[in-house]
Amino acid sequence: MENPTILIVDDHTVNLTMLNELLSPHYAMRACKSGEAALRNIAIEPIPDLILLDILMPGMDGYETLEQIKQNPVAKEIPVIFISGLDSSLDEEKGFQLGAVDYITKPFVAAIVLKRVKVHLDLKKARDQLVSQNEWLEQEVARRVRENTIIQDITLSMISQLAETRDADTAHHITRTQAYMKILAERMKQIPKYTDFLQEKTIRRMVKAAPLHDIGKIGIPDHILLKPGKLTEQEFETMKHHVIIGGDAIRNAIKQVMEVNDLVREEFKPLSLLFLEEAETIARFHHEKWDGTGYPSGLKGEEIPLAARLMALADVFDAVTTPRVYKSIWTMRQASEMIIRQKGKHFDPDVVEAFQTEQDSFQKVLREITDEG
């Protein structure tokens, strides 16, 4: 390992010679006679590990030189020890305020110079190692987060596709409703009362969770789920149960993870669990209605979580504008008129207004993500 490099800055040749003779057996030495030269020298590889800087120099003095060093991104972390013949506490205080780490007074005492230099080089080495370890840890954490995110996304995609296979009429329903959710959320965050809540990370979590909204349909019998006609009252009651099946399945998964992992606490949940909680909310409550006539809990108004209110509109819009064996396709105009009529009834008025503003965006998604494509 190479010896640390020390830069001495002093306009007196005698001081440069004395310090060089004292330190060169242990360190790689460089020297210059002015602050201006020092500022040029610190950019030369290898970057100095320590600077011994005289205070009283013609032109740029030690204080001004140190100020310039601290403004240099390459050199600002280099420890600087002032060389001074002054015996004023005021001068020392000024030096420390500017960022000096220590003082060495003239005339030099060899043992003191060697000791102070070694102490500050050891401290710098420890700081450098800590920075290096922190950078490695940050990179490792980022790598593992990426890996976990990929695994999570693959698992989510597999589960969503399995759910889709139960209902052949809705080939791209999940993809479109995700897109509609994002459009609505991005528009809603421009409303002052939602701005703080609908941060980018929250919107991403909602959109990512959206594909699990109908996961409970896996538990609905085929003769009901795939029936090519209107459901009987009893069959519809069974179909409505899919929100309970889906919500409970996700809730049980969360509970099991928390029970087996001692590191998971309610106040320190990892992002993966926050995502699952969002998915549970959407799965369980996306058939609630603003006026309280929905299911399963009959929630009303803002009792219904926002993510579920967004999904309610996205889900209904996609259902009426895409092919189903039991109905014809509605036009964009027909779908829009129905949604507007249901403002304050089925749908949150703010969500309907967001939809009205973004109708062109909805139509673009509907045109580009087709079940035939």
Domain ranges of the chain: 5-133, 166-368
Contact indicator for 101, 50 with CB cutoff of 8 Å? no
CATH number of 5-133: 3.40.50.2300
162: number of Cβ within 10 Å:
11
In this structure, are residues 283 and 246 in contact, taking their beta carbons and an 8 Å threshold? yes
Q: Which of 1.20.1250.20, 1.10.3210.10, 3.40.50.300, 1.10.3720.10 would CATH assign to domain 166-368?
A: 1.10.3210.10
Over the stretch 75-87, which tens digit does the pLDDT of each residue have?
Answer: 999 999 998 875 5
In the predicted model, what is the mean pLDDT of residues 309-327? 88
Those residues whose C-beta lies under 8 Å from the C-beta of residue 240, and which sit 6 or more positions away, are 287, 295, 296
Specify the 3-state DSSP secondary structure of 191.
coil
pLDDT tens digits, residue range 162-185?
666 655 555 588 889 999 999 999
Query: What DSSP string runs through 343-373?
Result: BTTTB-HHHHHHHHHTHHHHHHHHHHS-TT-
Q: What is the mean pLDDT of residues 233-260?
A: 88
Q: Using CA atoms, how far apart are residues 205 and 248, in angstroms rounded to an integer?
A: 19
User: Residue 358 in contact with residue 332, Cβ under 8 Å?
Assistant: no
The overall longest dimension of the chain from CA atoms, in Å, is: 103
Whether pLDDT at 257 is above 60: yes
pTM more than 0.85: no
How many C-beta atoms lie closer than 10 Å to residue 247's C-beta? Answer: 22
